Amino acid sequence: MTGVFQWKTPLSAFFLCRSCGSYFGHGVGLCQDGAAGYAARGSNYNNIITHYYINTSVSLANSTIVTGWKQEDDGSWYYYDSNGRMKTGWVQVSGQWYYMNSMGIMQTDWVQDGSDWYFLRADGSMKAGEWQDWPRGSQNWYYLKADGRMAYSCTLLINNLYYDFNSTGLCTTPNGYTR
């Protein structure tokens, strides 16, 4: 770097812009925050890499794109679409719904999405149109409606019996009743 920039010690820490007197990053290689910003705006890996490493070409040599389910060494599950992009949020796979958190990790048990609660089985698939006791083995019953949302603050007709649910979703009439 000549002319505009002058290195300050330590060499790997910061560089100084003579025209404005400000210090910037480490001045070498890829900026993780910048790369994340480009990705969030839809740039692909090739555009990001070539932005930071000028006159560079990028190719995938003897590589395959990961698609579908992948389990990491720590036991966490991730789902990658047909283009190899890790999915977050709700994902439908083979007719089942799964919820991947903001880091892409498949979730289990109770998940809140907005103001609604959902229950995900041990395999991550969403329960729908089913009862769930919580904590497991207790006599506290919750109902997951056909769309998977937990019932709360309502009365539902399920298999010809009425059930009342309080504001936390707990069924207050677990034996049901007729009208």
In angstroms, rounded to a whole number, what is the distance separating the alpha carbons of residues 93 and 3? Answer: 56
Amino acid identity, residue 21? G
Mean pLDDT for back-to-back runs of 10 residues, the chain (179 residues): 42 45 54 77 76 70 81 94 91 97 96 97 97 92 98 98 98 96
pLDDT of residue 7: 41
CA 112, 118, 120, 124 dihedral sign is negative
pLDDT of residue 3: 44
| Contact yes or no for 101/123 (Cβ under 8 A) | no
| Contact yes or no for 165/156 (Cβ under 8 A) | yes
Instruction: Let me know if 142 is exposed, middle or buried by CB neighbors in 10 A (0-12, 13-18, 19+).
Output: buried
pLDDT of residue 14: 44
